[in-house]
Chain A
Amino acid sequence: MPGFSFTHLEFLAWAALWTVGLSVIAFVGGGLLGFVVALARVSASRSLRIAAIVYIQLVQGTPLLILLFLIYFGVAIAGFDAVPAIIAAGAGLTVYSSGFLAEIWRGCIQSVPKTQWEAAECLALTRWQRMTRVVLPQALRLATAPTVGFLVQIVKNTSLASVVGFIELSQAGKLINNSIFEPFTIFIVVAVFYFALCFPLSTWSRSLERKLNVSRR
């Protein structure tokens, strides 16, 4: 029986690119959606705030695996053709990320001191101007480190996309194992790939945290 070869490594590297791609989709999609939900979460309108809370709680209270199944099979049941795996996986991860990013960013927005809102309000700025010109620039500074930290979670969680048939790093590892039955070797290599993706991110997050803590708020 042939062992683990360069071809397998190539296959894994190719699959790792899909992991990166899926992570980017999840981060960009989740970021956009999460930003809107975070704004709704701190909005002046009570019904918007409640809607945002319900959304965040639902997303955070549902396992990503189930979210992926719901989207993958839900769309088919709703009468559409089976969705391509990348769409289902991308949508599931987007929803998942948006629920967490919204809550991280809500915290950052609310940790900008209330006196900053007040000062901006007393200068006759509109609510939107207060938010975009005074509060968000300060919240951004606070948000950078935890946001990059959450990126690591996204990268690792893309492994669940294999359940809807999406071939990313983990799924590629399983496929190779099905043909050569060397699970330990294969999954060590897979783990190394994940580590190589995540380690720079978490190092970056930590250094951002240090940098932003010592410089001005």
Chain B
Amino acid sequence: MSTLTLISDPQTATALLPEFTLIVGIALLILIPNLGKGTFRLPIPNTNIRIPYLFGGERFAFTSSPRIPGVISVFTLLFSTALALWSQMEEPLSDSNVWCIATTGEAFNSCAGMIEPSLLKIDGFSRLLEIVFYGALMLCGVAMWSRMPATPRFMIHAQVLAGRREDERIAKLLDNRRQVDFHILLLMVALGMSVVVLANDLFVLFIGLELASLSSYVLVAFMKENDEAPEAGMKYFIVGSVASAVGLYGISLLYLWNGNLQISELASSWQAMDSIDPLALAGLAFIVVTIGFKVSAAPFHLAAPDAYSGASSPVAGVLATASKAMGFVVLLRVLVSITMPESGEAFWVPVVGLLAAVTMTWGNFGALSSESPKRMLAYSSVAHAGYLLAAVAALGLNTSREGDHVVAELIVAAMLFHLTVLVLFKLGSFLVLSMLESEGRGSKLEDLYGLAKREPLIATALFIFMLSLAGVPPLSGFLSKLLLVSGIVDATVHNSMTFDDGVIAAIRSLHWVFLLALFVFLNSALSLFYYLRVGWVMFFEDPPTRKRLVYAPFLRITLMLCMVGTLAFGIGPLADHLLTLVSNAAETFFG
């Protein structure tokens, strides 16, 4: 019954339009490449009447083209992004734009006064994150258009089977199959991530998490012609599934404690506790381990560098951006929505603060000492997780001041801004590496030598991405760090602070979380060294070859768009628009 309502209820259908688009996209990916000259013989004896039913058989040239699956998935994601963005265009803050989906599948406006438990909640916060996810996956999809031919092994097999012309056709078909597999998984990741961010119930959230994770394990191992990929996929799978199992155990403990996994119910039970129940605490701790793995926070990050360097670059980029954003959503849901006290400091601040400090330092030192650009980016992604964790720690202080803007909203807005622009410059740099990978390079720093002499524009783009990662003004990476530190400072610095007894005494009078702001700054300064090293080798070393990179027009256009976005979201009107969007989203997160 409920499944039917999900589709037939017009309100539900409108509310979940972007997600339904994804499902339609998956269906199209399964259907379209299978269209062919298939016929069906009527089961009448002694006749040979065949009725064409366009399914199976010899495929049409159009449907077996290797380009088709990529086009379908990218356009599906584009369409979903547009729908999600469109829903936030007018009155993003009004209740009429918030939907809750109940267990019956019915959609309720504004979620206020709902008696039945709701499974999904659609608001500005979740929509913005969906845009982030879809954007990241879209970039990955575009990058995969011009890569991934079927493996040579299959080609040899096909040559034995058929003549020369057949050979080409079969190769194309195999390419097409491989693309279909990849892009279905990509859309699955998108769907899983959407479910995570929409979930209003920990169990639904876990289902989404698993859908996204399992698909991404396969994506990591997907480039099987590369020796490292299966190994990386295996590692990522084992560590990831252990982490998921631990998280599931945590969720079951929470269920044991509360008898209900609704986030709002969990929150009110948590508020009602006099002292913290060990059962609930253990459950929470286990969930945090899962999240730690997802956002690659130290010490749960150890699989990340291997996974990133083994996976093909666009996939690694997705892990570093969309997957991390998903992890932070879960973190916010669990730590802020459930366990935040009415007033005063949350109990987890010391833990998260310590994790933040360790994560950013470890990440930066790891990046400093890694020779492969992909490992370097992986470690830099660990460092960025540390910066975001520092903001979460400041969020836990629960500061509120009379006559001041809402600190918590500023912090969440800063995190969202960071996660959004990260897609542009983090994934952008992975896309550049992807171009190098297509010619069999990209795993060593030497491969970047003299890139500026081969491809000045692309080298400039990579240089700008690096500067933005390091946080150099006026790029968007600087703006996001500025906002994060603003949040930390606002949460800790009070108006009566005085430096008259010296700086040390003044800092000691503040909450220790303030030190995290200094840590962010010092770590950013440290990170400059390895980011600038990339720029240095690109411009001032001699290239191994003078040949230009692969001709992939759409990828090049996408790269240029990423570069322009990195600049435009740092300063100017676009930055203002994005700031409005994220601050609205942050407001709905708390509202």
Our verdict on whether A and B bind, yes or no, reads no
Which B residues form the contact surface with A (CB < 8 A)? none
